[in-house]
Structure 1
Amino acid sequence: MKRLIYLLAAVMTACAAAPQAGLNVMTFNMRYDNPEDGENNWMYRRDRAAEVVTSHRIDVFGTQEVLSGQLHDLLDRLPGYEAVGVGREDGRERGEYCAVFYRTDRFTRVESGTFWLSETPEAAGSLGWDGACERTATWAVLRDRKSGAEFFFIDTHLDHVGEQARREGVSLLLRRIVAMSGGRPVILTGDFNAEPSSEVIAHVTRNGLLHDAKAIAAQVAGTPWSFSDFGAIPEGERPLIDYIFTGDRVAVDRYEVLPDTLDGGYVSDHAPVMAAIRFVKP
């Protein structure tokens, strides 16, 4: 009997110490469906964009600039995924989404929502500070179907013009993460319209709540930039403006800026950014 007890104890200890299964996460500015994009229009890119997700076995990803038609195009091409988010102009379907997609065979959505990066975050369509556009953040609490572990995923797109809007937007994001994550591991994705050396990105990581996935990754691959404007920007001048940030208890095994082209055509004017992560015990 003692031997059986010891064996059971050993198995339980080994299981407790075993790392949780990893996740592949991504941030992907899809570029809105603009008829003026010619050969780079969404109708020519949508299959390639979906293939990026499936070929890299992405479990959960945040998007930017997705219009309602694009959202449905992606869901049609990504069976087994669901999405949460609303249009930024009316809180329903008008305007760009910061949609969060996740695999339904792996996760159950516990709760989710969207707020606006403005002085009135619950007011749909509200414009914040000196921002040129309405800006949102979409979040979801997801539960792993096998382990029961939960995490807090949030995706955003900061303003491309307003410096105050970017600064105050980050402050709001940090407050909401603290208030809403409930102590769960946190993943923040998005297009921050700011380079790594900027005050905006320093603001995100300054208090230690979040860490740039690239900075803490065991392996780093891909280009040092994430925005090429469909190749119009000279390679040496292309900025990195798309990010994955992680909270404590998240290990980043690999970070990679993926190519912005596939099969001879662009997937977007931005390159997707992905990270292979694990949740670890404190």
Structure 2
Amino acid sequence: MKAAKVLKARPWTLASLASARPYAAIFKTKSFDMLSTDFQPSKIEISEVEARKLLGKIRLDNKNVISREEAMSRIEYEGMEGLGKLSVVRLEEYGTFLEQERGPGPFLDQQGGPGPFSDQQGCPGMGSFTSSPALVAEDNQDDALSFQPGAHEELVERCRKELMELPTPLERRFRNYSLQSTQSTQETITQSTVFRCISVSALGTKNDKFVCCPAEALVWETRRWRLLHEILRYEPDIICLQEVDHFNLLERALGSVGYSGRFVPKPDSPCIYLPENNGPDGCAIFYKNSKFDLVSESKRVLEVWRVQSNQVVLCLNLKHRDTEKELFVATTHLKARQGALLSTMRNEQGKDMLDWLAESAAGKPLLLSGDFNADPSEPVYQSVVHHASLNLSSAYKSDNLGVDEYTTWKIRETGEQKYVLDYIFHSEFLTPVSVLEMPSEEEIGAHRLPSLQFPSDHLSLVADFHLI
């Protein structure tokens, strides 16, 4: 049994390893100084089975394996029998290597033709084991529940009954913007031009380590009703969600009261490697059918230094029914954890997303929400608010609104964490009218979040906008 270490690497390798989804071929080698132009990898490629085992080990947080977030600078594996030392070769270089050697493997078959994970030219593609999950999961844990078409309030009342043995939910207040504008402008802000957006982190099941959170607060059979109630109680017109690993439930429940939704999973969700998992987590957007029509939808795997990462963005182009104006709504969940390199990776993901959205929205109104895993001091925040084409502002950041002291507050093994990580950004074609305030420390409670009163470690953001 030998350990494998990666001590130095260039940005593309760091991005691949940190996301635990390397777009690169993994080889047995004698040296890790393999990034020079004259590097010649071993002809003995790690088998598909071995590679799947290896990638699975990266994603596990037990058995003394270093976590994915720390993997950008060092990886150590114990118990990988027969693997020896490992190296990573960039796909472009590997394609050239295959072209020369024509050896069998997952990208080339025994006759030198395209293998099961290649394109027709025999080059590594999106279907290779290095870019697809090692496990497959189905979103079926909520199949026993049924939802009949009905009124909004009927489903809210059903949630209340399911939660009647638990404490009442957190009570929060809306704060209005002081709109400094002409009377004629004020008169145009009517009920027909105002819509409400909620952004919620659904908290992927069993994928976090909370120290003080009551165990019963994380039981999905109860928490799902708290999550649905939290969404529905504010009667939103647009719902943006992150860490969604029960989309089937949300689609059926919200669909029964007049919402339509779309979902994009992470390419290699860590949720599917957890015991009793339900399915990959990802981002979702729902919209109220009586308020909006869907024009188009698009999604993107975010890139870091031109390498696809494990984070995504979902974007819907909606048409407001009363005004017939178009609105682009996007949501994302950027790379987690602290550290200078991870902060840089988030910024690269953010810039890739912003450039893509600028091209997609093409000057039309844009809402961008999500868990950015970055406080306002991080580069990615500055990239968002200073993007030349988009001209975005945070609905929770204004001179007359002191409501953004935190959006997440939890206690983990590493200590108490209280940060602003979540945002609803809007373009100049949208005017914020009001936002939902954060609860006080007393209202949150000593055990912080999640709790029996709130289903996630990130508080919901809710904002009303006037569509100009």
TM-score bracket, shorter-length normalisation = 0.7 to 0.9
For 1:10, the equivalent position in structure 2 comes to none
CA distance in 2 between partners of 1:24 and 1:164 (Å): 32
Give the Å deviation of 1:18. 2.1
For 2:294, the equivalent position in structure 1 comes to 109
Residue aligned with 1:214, SS: coil
CA distance in 1 between partners of 2:279 and 2:430 (Å): 35
Deviations 1:194-252 (A, max 9, x none): 1122222112112352111122486555x6211123798987x5111010101112111
The residue type paired with residue 189 of structure 2 is: P
Taking structure 1 as reference, are residues 152 and 35 closer, same or farther at Cα in structure 2, changes over 3 Å only?
closer
How many residues were matched structurally? 253
Name which of 276, 279, 282 aligns with 2:467.
279
Deviations 1:73-132 (A, max 9, x none): 2233322111112211269x95211111111121111000210111598xxxx743xxxx
Name which of 375, 396, 400 aligns with 1:214.
396
For 1:97, the equivalent position in structure 2 comes to 282
Contact in 2 for aligned 1:26/1:58 (Cα 8 Å): yes
For 1:151, the equivalent position in structure 2 comes to 327
For 2:87, the equivalent position in structure 1 comes to none
Give the Å deviation of 1:267. 1.7
Give the Å deviation of 1:266. 2.4
- 1:1-16 equivalences under 5 Å are none
Task: Identify which of structures 1 and 2 has the higher relative contact order when contacts are C-alpha pairs closer than 8 Å and 6+ apart.
Answer: 1
Taking structure 1 as reference, are residues 36 and 165 closer, same or farther at Cα in structure 2, changes over 3 Å only?
closer
For 1:175, the equivalent position in structure 2 comes to 355
- 1:237-252 equivalences under 5 Å are 237-252=417-432
Q: Please provide the CA RMSD for this pair.
A: 3.1
Contact in 1 for aligned 2:319/2:325 (Cα 8 Å): yes
Name which of 433, 453, 465 aligns with 1:253.
433
For 2:188, the equivalent position in structure 1 comes to 18
Taking structure 1 as reference, are residues 23 and 198 closer, same or farther at Cα in structure 2, changes over 3 Å only?
same
Give the Å deviation of 1:19. 2.7
Residue aligned with 2:223, SS: helix
Give the Å deviation of 1:182. 2.5
Aligned: 1:136 with 2:325: no
CA distance in 2 between partners of 1:35 and 1:183 (Å): 38
- Which has the larger strand fraction? 1
The residue type paired with residue 265 of structure 1 is: Q
Residue aligned with 1:266, SS: coil
Contact in 2 for aligned 1:110/1:141 (Cα 8 Å): yes
The residue type paired with residue 227 of structure 2 is: A
Residue aligned with 2:251, SS: helix
Taking structure 1 as reference, are residues 258 and 105 closer, same or farther at Cα in structure 2, changes over 3 Å only?
farther
Residue aligned with 1:85, SS: strand
CA distance in 2 between partners of 1:36 and 1:231 (Å): 9
The residue type paired with residue 367 of structure 2 is: I
CA distance in 2 between partners of 1:156 and 1:88 (Å): 10
Deviations 1:5-31 (A, max 9, x none): xxxxxxxxx89x723521111211110
Name which of 205, 222, 229 aligns with 1:33.
205
Residue aligned with 1:184, SS: coil
For 1:51, the equivalent position in structure 2 comes to 229
Deviations 1:165-210 (A, max 9, x none): 2011111121112100032111000101111222221121123521
Give the Å deviation of 1:255. 2.1
TM-score (norm 1): 0.78
Contact in 2 for aligned 1:117/1:135 (Cα 8 Å): yes
CA distance in 2 between partners of 1:120 and 1:111 (Å): 28
Name which of 53, 68, 72 aligns with 2:248.
72
The percent identity for this pair of structures is: 22
For 1:9, the equivalent position in structure 2 comes to none
The residue type paired with residue 22 of structure 1 is: V
Contact in 2 for aligned 1:87/1:94 (Cα 8 Å): no
CA distance in 2 between partners of 1:230 and 1:54 (Å): 27
CA distance in 1 between partners of 2:349 and 2:221 (Å): 32
For 1:87, the equivalent position in structure 2 comes to 265
TM-score (norm 2): 0.49
Gaps of 5+ in 1: 1-13, 129-133
For 2:346, the equivalent position in structure 1 comes to 166
Name which of 340, 363, 370 aligns with 1:190.
370
After superposing the two structures, state which structure 1 stretch, 37-46 or 155-164, moved more.
Answer: 37-46
Name segments (4+ residues, structure 1) moved above 6 Å: 230-235, 260-263
Contact in 1 for aligned 2:367/2:426 (Cα 8 Å): yes
CA distance in 2 between partners of 1:36 and 1:201 (Å): 25
